[in-house]
Amino acid sequence: MIFVVGVSHKTAPIEVRERLGAATEGTPQVLARLASLPELGEVLWLSTCNRVEVVASSSDEVVDPSIFAVRQELARQAGCSDSSELSPYLYEKRGKDAVIHVFRVASSLDSMVLGEPQILGQLKAASDAAARARTLRGKLGGLLQRAFAVAKRVRTETAIGAGSVSVSSVGVDLARRIFEDLGTCVVLLLGAGEMAEAAARSLGRSARALRICNRNFDRAASLAREMRAAAVPWERLEAEIVEADIVVASTASPIPIVTRDMVKRACRARRGRTLFFVDLAVPRNVEPEVHELENVYVYNVDDLEHEVARGLSARRGEVDAAERIVRDEFEAYLAWSRGLDVAPTIVALRTKVRAILGAELERSLGGRLKHFGPAERDALALMMDSATNKLLHEPSTRLKTHAAEQEDAEALAAALRLLFDLPVDTHEDPTGKPVDGTAPSVVAGEPRLN
């Protein structure tokens, strides 16, 4: 069974989310630990500023031990003494609810900023990381490919992405309201990743000056050339804060890079000028105590949620249309997954019939037909293949069709396994090769919904 366990901006404050983000050494290491849990089959790790989720399949039909194992691992990564400390913030979804949740996350229907495009890229990056770590194979791989297709439909067929559609753009809009005229402001971007680029694009040419400070100077210089900004060395961070009016922080540092003492020293040189921080990072880049300084204001991603609500009304009307797409795609996925449930039985039936006929053919060719030459032997083999296909085509087609339209197809598959003494473990055929399914617009090996 597919399931999801995690925290998001809806269930946990930033203080909890950043503990999970800061505790992880990197995605490959996290995936390796999760994959080592015997209760899990496949696993995907998704970590963004607004959510940390484990999407996984259970290695057993009973999913409770798998969910418990993931909850324990998340608590360990957050530095909790036991899982009960983190439990109030965790949510879990199983089967149908888990699949719909993944579709909604990919389509940004579960994001803080409705319609923001970053989550799809983050989910694709998480999928690529899991594929490289070999923790993503058939089941979850197929689910994610379907989720990407759902997200594309939502973005193409609705206007849910209209207006300010990222946390960074919301932060810039807030800065505009505070300073009124950004044409008088110097904006400093800390970081040169996706968030910083989005902030730079939201600013456009409205700021008096845009400066980019990043540990990797080459990356800062590259973004600066694209945005017609200035790149500055990381060593000049404190001096740049003295000159800036607005600082947008979005680095991947696990600890704060802007401290209270640093800003306090900068404030002495600023002579009372207002300093505004937009901290888009999780874990936070700016120490919360910075907000206590006079004429200094700090907004983190949770603070921006209130600003998000102000711009939500323009896209609220598109939500129903997007949710309908999610439901339609889920029904298509469900029909396909039912077909996948019976596919291993069909493969096992064909394998057994071919094995029986092949054994009889070999016995005949070794006996009274041993005088047959290669041409005659090949002709008999082709005839056997043709007879097998014609014999099993109708029952195979009817079983697949029934599976797509009805919910009791597994009972028919079970009857076939009983009558023909087929393997009970239908995830592999008798040759030991994994059984894959195919479906229109869906990759082979898409997961079953149990």
DSSP per-residue codes, 5-66: EEEETTTS-HHHHHHHHHH-S-HHHHHHHHHT-TTEEEEEEEE-SSEEEEEEEESSS--HHH
Report the predicted TM-score, pTM, of the whole model to 2 decimal places: 0.69
Angle at 197 between CA 196 and CA 198, to 5 degrees: 90
pLDDT at position 241 is 96
Q: Give the integer Cα–Cα distance in Å for 72 and 65.
A: 10
Residue 210 host element (H or E):
strand 209-213
Residue 410 host element (H or E):
helix 409-419
pLDDT at position 333 is 81
Query: Active-site positions?
Result: 49
Q: Give the integer Cα–Cα distance in Å for 372 and 354.
A: 21
Please enumerate in sequence order all residues whose Cβ is within 8 A of that of 349, keeping only pairs 6 or more positions apart, or say none: 392, 395, 396, 416, 420, 422
pLDDT at position 351 is 83
CB of 198 within 8 A of CB of 118?
yes
Please enumerate in sequence order all residues whose Cβ is within 8 A of that of 166, keeping only pairs 6 or more positions apart, or say none: 113, 116, 117, 118, 195, 198, 202
Question: 435 exposed, middle or buried (CB, 10 Å; 0-12, 13-18, 19+)?
Answer: middle
What are phi and psi for residue 307, nearest 5 degrees? -70, -30
pLDDT at position 82 is 75
- Supply the DSSP string of 219-275, one letter for each residue: HHHHHHHHHT-EEE-GGGHHHHHHH-SEEEE----SS-SB-HHHHHHHHHHHTT--E
Q: In this structure, what token pair is assigned to residue 241?
A: 């804060």
- Supply the DSSP string of 133-189, one letter for each residue: TT---SHHHHHHHHHHHHHHHHHHHS-TT-S--SHHHHHHHHHHHHHS-GGG-EEEE
> In terms of Cα–Cα distance, which of 63, 75, 77 is closest to 31?
77
pLDDT at position 345 is 77
pLDDT at position 427 is 42
Q: Give the integer Cα–Cα distance in Å for 89 and 18.
A: 13
Question: 243 exposed, middle or buried (CB, 10 Å; 0-12, 13-18, 19+)?
Answer: middle
Question: 187 exposed, middle or buried (CB, 10 Å; 0-12, 13-18, 19+)?
Answer: buried
DSSP class of 79: T
DSSP class of 300: E
CB of 275 within 8 A of CB of 263?
yes
Cis peptide before 38 (omega within 30 of 0): no
Give average pLDDT by consecutive 10-residue segment, the chain, 450 residues. 93 90 69 89 91 89 88 88 87 94 94 84 93 86 92 90 67 77 90 86 81 95 92 95 94 93 94 90 93 92 73 70 91 70 75 84 85 87 85 77 64 76 54 35 36
Please enumerate in sequence order all residues whose Cβ is within 8 A of that of 176, keeping only pairs 6 or more positions apart, or say none: 182, 206
DSSP class of 87: G
Kindly tell me the sign of the dihedral angle through the C-alpha atoms of 370, 373, 374, 378: negative
